[in-house]
Structure 1
Amino acid sequence: MKNDFYTVASFEYTAEAQVMKGKFMSHGIEVFLKDEHTIDVDPLVSHAIGGVKLQVHLQDKEAAIELYNELREYEVDRRGSRIICSACGGNRVLVAPPRKNLLYLLFPFFEPKRYLCNDCGEIFKQETN
């Protein structure tokens, strides 16, 4: 068997990756954690090396992505309800990555929080009620 792997997700801490690994293994998907021991030795390098990578064999890629999308935690509002996408009405919403604008890179606290719909890919701001 070839050692071709696909990185499903990366985590800042090993504990988060271990929990997800256990969930994948319980569904019969073999998982490998790359850089796990490096971050255990020095947690401060996590951002520099991209965190602990949860990897699966290429043949398990589609099943792993589907399972990860079911298991991941999505954003909720102040009341604890999932945020709803303004475009498609889906509730699998994540925090959108920051913009590469120089102003927002220098002063990230000026950028309003934006969300990314995992279903349709729409980036939007949450409407306040």
Structure 2
Amino acid sequence: MKDFITIAIFNFPQETFVLKSILDNEGINYFFENETIVSIDPFASLAYGGIKLKIHPNDKEIVQKILDNLDSNLKIV
């Protein structure tokens, strides 16, 4: 996992829930850095630089497509 790269940063754990499901269904290896500390203390998100989505560089194109699709289709009501 030392070769993993950051492809996206989120401020709140709620922002990662749908994305986790999609990545799991696609079989993509990933992890969210700082997820636990931000879940415990949401105000720590800024101090730690947010929740960072880390992926293997080989998955960059497909994950970027997933993120772009979520940005255009996921509306928060």
User: Fold match, TM over 0.5?
Assistant: yes
Q: Which residue of 2 aligns with 1:100?
A: none
Q: Which residue of 2 aligns with 1:3?
A: 2
Quote the Cα distance in structure 1 between the aligned partners of 2:42 and 2:27. 29
Q: Which residue of 2 aligns with 1:22?
A: 21
**CA RMSD between the two structures:** 2.0
Cα distance per residue 1:61-112 (max 9 Å; x no partner): 12111221112247x9xxxxxxxxxxxxxxxxxxxxxxxxxxxxxxxxxxxx
Gaps of 5+ in 1: 77-129
Amino acid aligned to 1:29: I
Report how far residue 19 of structure 1 moved.
Answer: 2.1
Quote the Cα distance in structure 2 between the aligned partners of 1:43 and 1:73. 26
Amino acid aligned to 2:67: Y
| Bigger radius of gyration among the two | 1
Which structure 2 residues correspond to residues 40-119 of structure 1 after superposition, within 5 A? 40-73=39-72
Q: Which residue of 2 aligns with 1:31?
A: 30
Percent sequence identity over aligned pairs: 34
Contact 1:31 1:55 in 2 (8 A): yes
Aligned length: 74
Contact 1:21 1:54 in 2 (8 A): no
TM-score of the aligned structures, taking structure 1 as reference length: 0.50
Quote the Cα distance in structure 1 between the aligned partners of 2:72 and 2:45. 21
TM-score of the aligned structures, taking structure 2 as reference length: 0.78
Report how far residue 5 of structure 1 moved.
Answer: 0.9
Gaps of 5+ in 2: none
Structure whose residues are more often helix by fraction: 2
